[in-house]
Amino acid sequence: MKKFFAVSVCMFMLLCCACGPARPAQITNTDTAMGTVIVQKLYTADSQGRAAQEIMELLGKLETQELSRRLDTSEVWNLNAGAGRPEGCTVSPSMEEILAGCLDMWHKSQGAFDVTLGPVVELWDIDGWAAGENGEDFSPPEDRQLAEALERCGAGRMELREGVLWLPEGMLLDLGAVGKGVAMDRILSYLQGNNNITGAIISLGGSVVTYGSKPDGDCWKVGIANPADTASIVGTLMLEGEWFVSTSGDYERYVELDGVRYHHIIDPVTGRPADSGIAGVTILAGNGFLSDALSTACFILGEEKGMALAELCGAEVLFVSTDGRITMSRGMEAYFETAE
Ligand code: FAD
Ligand code: MG
């Protein structure tokens, strides 16, 4: 069995050095949150500033107080614990907005994107196997187990109305597909409210947010990993100002058994790792939630339907197929440079 736990390989930040005395200082910080590696490059007039630390604190709070399904301190944990309550559970305004966005994406993706897949995600526990936490003896769930878990899923069965969520008993929310996107939106708000910061590029595993500009005027360069060899890239996005880039790939978290790769992105129809001929999808959007949700949805839908969904949502998309073909939306071409 081969295991793989890629926390940050799917994105590379390619930055030129800032130099010259009048320029803002560059602060680089690497840390972990939400099960992934966070790399920050900030250009700031306040070289002693606490910005990088404050961003990590923001991410820590988002995970522990709001989004984690694993921690009993979070709102998602409480909502899951409240599944089956006839009176439902009160949700915070920010959680209501997140869940409404998830339901919207569920509709638009015709059910491919579904944050109620928690029971199936837990049954596979690809995160645990990929991280080596479950030992060496991986075997895929049995059909009967999958069928039982799938019976407890389905975003159409949850109800969200006026700040109250009703989840049928046994259901489990898992916001792994949008957590980094929500985090990127929060980070952008933080950056916009900090007058010292003139530019930033922050990578959260497979997701990148850019802000402002570099002191030397060069653009932000975000590499797109080659799924067949994650030490290399298929190309680079050349970006100016505020952007969100999210990638979903079958190489991010997976286990291999008998030559079959079992990855972490689930097709809600089968309850098994999605098999749409796609190895990696990258979304470029003006909003973090959208870029993250769409990258997951487009991975499951595949090229044709995924392209239509991205267009419907006003985002750009690039697919790398399992046989190495690259296809992208028209708008993406303006930002993409093929690797030499
Ligand atoms: P994406 O494509 O963005 O998302 C894939 C993830 O979405 C899957 O892992 C699953 O969780 C979910 N999913 C699968 N299929 C679907 C579907 N059809 N529709 C909707 N969602 C789907 N990892 C750890 O190993 N340990 C941790 O403690 C940990 N804590 C986390 C806390 C938070 C708040 C978040 C946001 C993530 C955490 N993670 C942790 C990582 C998490 O479990 C996922 O692996 C990760 O978010 C996947 O992100 P991605 O960008 O690679 O893939
Ligand atoms: Mg996603």
Strand partners of residue 4 = 254
Please give the pLDDT value at position 47: 77
Closest ligand, as measured to the CA of 61:
1
Q: How far apart are the first and last CA of the chain?
A: 33
Closest ligand, as measured to the CA of 266:
1
Please give the pLDDT value at position 21: 43
Q: Is 206 in the pocket of ligand 1 (CB under 6 A)?
A: yes
**Structural domain boundaries, residue 42:** 3-338
For the residues of 80-111, what is the DSSP string, one character each? HHTTT-TT-EE--HHHHHHHHHHHHHHHHTTT
What's the 222 CA to ligand 1 centre distance in angstroms? 21
Q: What is the pLDDT along the chain (340 residues), one digit of tens a residue?
A: 444 444 333 344 444 333 444 578 999 999 999 999 999 999 999 877 799 999 999 999 999 999 999 999 999 999 999 999 999 999 999 999 999 999 999 999 999 999 999 999 999 999 999 999 998 899 999 999 999 999 999 999 999 999 999 999 999 999 999 999 999 999 999 999 999 999 999 999 989 999 999 999 999 999 999 999 999 999 999 999 999 999 999 999 999 999 999 999 999 999 999 999 999 999 999 999 999 999 999 999 999 999 999 999 999 999 999 999 999 999 999 999 999 8
Report the atom number in ligand 1 closest to the C-alpha of 63.
34
Q: Is 66 in the pocket of ligand 1 (CB under 6 A)?
A: no
The two three-digit tokens of residue 200, written as one number: 């930033």
Contact 13, 39 (CB under 8 A): yes
Report the atom number in ligand 1 closest to the C-alpha of 268.
18
What's the 115 CA to ligand 1 centre distance in angstroms? 10
What's the 68 CA to ligand 1 centre distance in angstroms? 10
Could you report the per-residue pLDDT of 92-102, keeping only the tens digit for each? 999 999 999 99
CA distances from residue 168 to 97, 152, 288 in whole angstroms, order as listed: 20, 8, 29
- Cα(294)–Cα(282) distance, rounded to whole angstroms? 9
Is 0.75 topped by the overall pTM?
A: yes
Q: Is 283 in the pocket of ligand 1 (CB under 6 A)?
A: no
The number of distinct structural domains making up the chain is: 1
- What CATH number is given to the structural domain containing 209? 3.10.520.10
